[in-house]
């Protein structure tokens, strides 16, 4: 592992230069990897592993027709590389459990019944293992229990692989039944397209992940956008102006500068007026949201968020309710303005 200085703290990471694709292929040459679930992470990780020369099959319920048919449309062949979940588990030596958190709870008895001695049970999220009292997911002691958690959506995992940049991922070994759990984990992390891997634990991963998704990455971001947009509209700004100053400039300009060289570099490459205002107001915003983040982290650590996820996402009408919530967001003036602004981008007008 390479030692890297992260803001004064030394951490060890594994890069794709030191643990190469060729090394991953050697470690995994006798493995059959079953990707269970063809929803968000499944397709991306499966494609990347297949492109990296790893033996991959898909496990998906045929009754869940949209996902089964999507897998077929993507080139996975029923009876050859696409199987019902129980059959895929039987055929595999590594089982990538990539269905949703709620579905992991529901499907666990079927998956557990087909695990074999020496198998590796792989997760991309620590949820089911950390909250085992609520999920009931307690693996037998004869399998490795490992995790590689890409720091991005399935779309980003695939896109970064195709463009050669790779995705950052965390990794952890929860149970080493074979003595090979660590090398399997690192090999799978490289095979799915990670540019570098950093160590964590299942608990730390799920606490940070749930906090991040509800906070800066999605929940807080959407909430702040909605609040700023509404305030600008209240004062007579047009929808296009309010959207551009709230979303478009962030996503199409500023956040790219942050990604390239950091927040200070982005500040240094903005106007003096923007610099001064940002430097002053960031403290006000930080102080305003610190109590919200404290409440959020506590809700994650105590299992309250898990209870909500399992109850709501496990409801029979979950998809209908979700679609209604997403429809309400999509049809709001903010995101209708966004659709109009996106249609004006040069690459859209050329089509």
Query: What does the alpha-carbon distance between residue 126 and residue 60 come to, in Å, rounded to a whole number?
Result: 21
Q: Cα–Cα distance between 95 and 104 in angstroms, integer?
A: 12
Is position 125 annotated as part of the catalytic site? yes
Vertex 65: Cα angle to 79 and 94 (nearest 5)? 50
Q: Which of 39, 21, 44, 14 is nearest to 156 (CA)?
A: 44
DSSP string for 35-65: EE--SSSHHHHHHHHHHTT--EEEE--TTSH
Q: For residue 69, give Cα distances in angstroms to 62, 186, 339.
A: 8, 31, 29
Which has the closest alpha carbon to 124: 106, 103, 97? Answer: 97
d(CA 77, CA 160): 26
Which of 125, 174, 237, 283 is the catalytic position? 125
Q: Are 213 and 219 in contact (CB under 8 A)?
A: yes
Under 8 Å between Cβ of 63 and 86: no
76 DSSP 8-state letter: P
Among 102, 165, 161, which Cα is nearest to 136's? 102
Task: Compute CA 89 distance to the chain's CA centroid, rounded to the nearest angstrom.
Answer: 23
Conformation bin of residue 59: beta by default, left when phi > 0, alpha when psi is -120 to 50: beta
Residues that are catalytic: 125
């Amino acid at each position: 592992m390479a030692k890297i200085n992260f803001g004064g703290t030394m951490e060890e990471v594994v890069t794709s230069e030191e643990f190469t694709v060729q090394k991953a292929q050697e470690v995994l040459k006798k493995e059959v990897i079953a990707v269970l679930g063809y929803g968000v992470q499944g397709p991306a990780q499966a494609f990347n592993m297949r492109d990296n020369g790893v033996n991959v099959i898909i496990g998906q319920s045929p009754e869940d027709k949209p996902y089964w048919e999507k897998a077929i449309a993507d080139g996975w062949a029923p009876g050859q590389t696409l199987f019902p979940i129980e059959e895929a588990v039987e055929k595999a030596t590594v089982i990538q459990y990539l269905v949703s958190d709620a579905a992991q709870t529901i499907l666990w008895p079927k998956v557990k019944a087909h695990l074999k001695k020496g198998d590796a049970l792989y997760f991309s999220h620590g949820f089911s293992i950390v909250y085992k009292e609520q999920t009931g997911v307690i693996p037998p002691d004869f399998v490795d229990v490992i995790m590689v958690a890409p720091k991005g959506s399935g779309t980003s995992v695939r896109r970064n692989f195709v463009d050669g940049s790779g995705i950052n991922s965390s990794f952890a070994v929860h149970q080493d039944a074979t003595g090979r759990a660590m090398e399997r984990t690192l090999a799978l992390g490289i095979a799915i397209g990670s540019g570098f891997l950093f160590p964590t634990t299942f608990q730390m991963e799920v606490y940070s992940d749930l906090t991040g998704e509800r906070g800066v990455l999605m929940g807080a971001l959407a909430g702040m956008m909605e609040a700023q947009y509404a305030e600008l509209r209240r004062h007579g700004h047009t929808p296009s102006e309010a959207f551009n100053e709230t979303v478009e400039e962030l996503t199409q300009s500023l956040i790219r500068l942050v990604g390239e060289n950091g927040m200070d570099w982005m500040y240094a490459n903005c106007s003096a007026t923007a610099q001064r205002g940002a430097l002053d107001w960031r403290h006000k915003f930080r102080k305003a949201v610190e109590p919200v983040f404290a409440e959020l982290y506590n809700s994650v650590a105590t299992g309250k968020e898990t209870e909500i996820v399992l109850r709501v996402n496990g409801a029979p009408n979950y998809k209908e309710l979700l679609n209604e919530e997403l429809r309400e967001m999509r049809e709001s003036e903010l995101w209708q303005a966004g659709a109009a602004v996106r249609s004006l981008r040069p690459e859209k007008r050329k089509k």
